[in-house]
Structure 1
Amino acid sequence: MQRQTWAPAEITPAGAGVAPSPAGLSHYLREAAQLGSLLVEHKALVFRGFAVEVGTLPQILDGLLPNRLAYVHGNSPRTKVGANVYTSTEFPSEFTISMHGELSYARAWPARLAFFCEVAPGSGGATPVVDAERWLHMLDPELRAAFAGGIRYSQNLPERHGLGKSWPDTYETTDRRQVEHYLVEAGAEWEWKADGGLRVHQLRPATVRHPVTGAEVWFNQADQWHPAGLGDEVAVALASLMTPDELPQSVSFADGTAIPGSYVHQIRDRGLAEAVDVPWQAGDLLLVDNVLIAHGRRPFTGARRVLVAMSG
């Protein structure tokens, strides 16, 4: 299979026929009645040259994401900085974040994501994006067949400090009844632990179909939840400290069978190899269809600050 030639569509003031300003972009978004169709067609859109800043971001997001969602049940370290606007991740800058569909392990996931570059990195730090339908077909038939029955995600969420995010941070509440209500709605299994922590299990599919195009796509985070996805040294260190049941997060096939590390490496490496990098300039926005496109992050130097918002 030859490497894909797909890339996100870039929208500039000149191409859109509007002023190079936030007001110009807002005007374009109001007039672009078919923005949804344009996003489905191109899968990802980059808005560049509109001089958007943090102070003007809310009005732009209102046009891109009319109904922004809270990052409930998210496992990535983030800080909430506005009305359902978050830092994209606070994972250490020297590491690559592999390709994934946002919240693919959750009961419901966002349909769209919008990323905004407040501060461009000194070097590196691109957001790689990959066509998730193509990613699926790049995987070996044996692997796809093994995942056909779905995936079992498991989490150990501490009450306060510990490895990984706490359950109050994860669910944005300290009310156990609210958490249990969410878990019932999610069809999850859970138990409150004696130390105040929470253990959660969820069964999810490995692939889904896009609601408009019908395309089947690779849509899970098995490689990110599996110790093999952390690298050999980290995996060995974790194994020496705790049992699989004690890991902050882990994953298996739906029937509880272990997922081979070789599968995890294939998923991770082929997704990253096929990805197209979106480099950042301050003021850039990237809008993606969260089912058609998986995203990640390249390592970087400097003070990179990218914000993210989501909608259903």
Structure 2
Amino acid sequence: MVNSEPSWRPAVVDPRSADRPADPEGLRQYLSGTDVSDLLAREKAVVFRGFGVTPETYDSVADELLPNRLAYVHGNSPRTKVGRNLYTSTEYPPEFDISMHNEMSYAHKWPTRILFLCEQAPATGGATPVVDGRQWLEAIDPEVRAAFAPGVRYTQNLHDGMGFGKSWQQTFETEDRGEVDAFLDGTEAEWRWQPDGSLWISQLRQATLKHPVTGTEVWFNQADQWHPAGLGEDAAALADVIPEDELPQNATFADGSPIPGEYITHVQEIGMRLAVDVDWRNGDLLLVDNIAAGHGRRAYTGRRRILVAMSDEPA
């Protein structure tokens, strides 16, 4: 196993380095003359700081960074939609860290860019850690990497309005089963509607991925965020009383065999150790190449409001 410390940090662009006014229009001017794809290919993640972006001025800037904003359909994280495909970043309790991950890497199609906006920085903590996916992969024990090589199988049991986890209505942003069927039909997933109105889904996905621009191989899955061992004591307790095939979500190896809990813990610990914290200031933006870099969240106190949007533009 490679035992290293972070050797990479996100780039920071501020009014001085951009040679633009310290306001949202100044940032928009800078971005209009910047090849964002090239910038992300070099840097993997970029913080835009000191331009005072607000939710009201967000769209003019975001349109330069995310030309094709995506809806968070089939997302497994609890969020609230607050604008044009703009969401709260997560609604997990503030006392918990959120482990490193690439957004929707469990899905058939994932966003290539993630854009965060800090509307309200917390009193303490609450950083968004980011990790170089290549370094994360190389630091994972070879035995663990080999076990994951055939892929990860994700399963979901989405209730019909009452139950643990998210409902299928929340997950797919619709009340129409036909729309869900049409969506899943193009995802190479297996699914079935249950007699109680719930929806079971199974998906076999990759564990690593080669970046489409650089060719670099990165760790690219969310097994640890679907497996009970990676979700804290409450999830572990739930797994003790609910049959494995009835859990709201779960991850196994590609052949359906269980992933050892110590593998999950190892992957999480490596990712968090190698992560670099982006500490928030009001008005900050953080643009992440969702393939090259993973992200997470540190625990915090006070009110924290980070908004997020996604795009499938070329990385």
Correspondence list, 1:200-215, <5 A: 200-215=201-216
1:307 aligns with 2:299: no
Q: CA deviation at 1:235?
A: 4.3
SS of equivalent residue, structure 2 residue 271: helix
Counterpart of 2:184, as a letter, is: L
Q: Note the C-alpha offset of 1:58.
A: 0.9
Tell me the alpha carbon deviations over residues 213-239 of structure 1, each in whole angstroms, 9 at most, x when there is no partner: 0011000000111111123x3344213
Provide the secondary structure at the position in 1 that maps to 2:165: coil
Return the TM-score normalized by structure 1: 0.98
Code of the aligned partner of 1:206: A
SS at match of 2:68: coil
Aligned partner of 2:67 in structure 1 is 66
RMSD: 0.9
Aligned to 2:48: 47
> What residue is the counterpart of 1:13 in the other structure?
15
Instruction: Write the distance in 2 (CA, Å) between the matches of 1:88 and 1:235.
Output: 21
TM-score (norm 2): 0.97
In 1, the alpha carbon distance for the partners of 2:128 and 2:162 equals 30
- 2:155 corresponds to which residue? 154
1:148-173 Cα deviation digits (max 9, x unpaired) = 11110000001112211111111111
Contact 2:40–2:289 (Cα < 8 Å) also in 1 = yes
CA distance in 1 between counterparts of 2:156 and 2:236 reads 19
2:235 & 2:139 partners in 1: Cα distance? 26
Post-superposition offset of 1:259: 0.4
Say if 2:49 and 2:284, in contact at 8 Å, map to a contact too: yes
Q: Which moved more, 1:1-10 or 1:39-48?
A: 1-10
In structure 2, the partner of 1:250 is 250
Aligned residues: 310
Counterpart mapping for 1:1-312 below 5 A:
1-32=3-34, 34-231=35-232, 233-312=233-312
Does the C-alpha gap of structure 1 residues 121 and 239 become closer, same or farther in structure 2, counting only changes over 3 Å?
Answer: same
SS of equivalent residue, structure 2 residue 218: strand
What is the CA–CA distance in structure 1 between the aligned matches of 2:239 and 2:93, rounded to whole Å?
22
Q: Which amino acid aligns with 2:10?
A: P
* Amino acid across the alignment from 1:298: R
Deviation string, structure 1 residues 120-147 (Cα, Å, up to 9, x no partner) = 0010000000001110010011111101
Q: Which runs of 4+ in 1 moved over 3 A?
A: none
CA contact (8 A) 2:229 2:236 kept: no
**CA displacement, residues 170-210 of structure 1 (integer Å, 9 cap, x when unaligned):** 11111111111111100110110111110000000101110
For residues 28 and 269 of structure 2, the distance between their equivalents in structure 1, rounded to whole angstroms, comes to 38
Gaps of 5+ in 1: none
In structure 1, C-alpha distance between the alignment counterparts of 2:4 and 2:217, rounded to whole Å: 20
Structure 2 gaps of 5+ residues are none
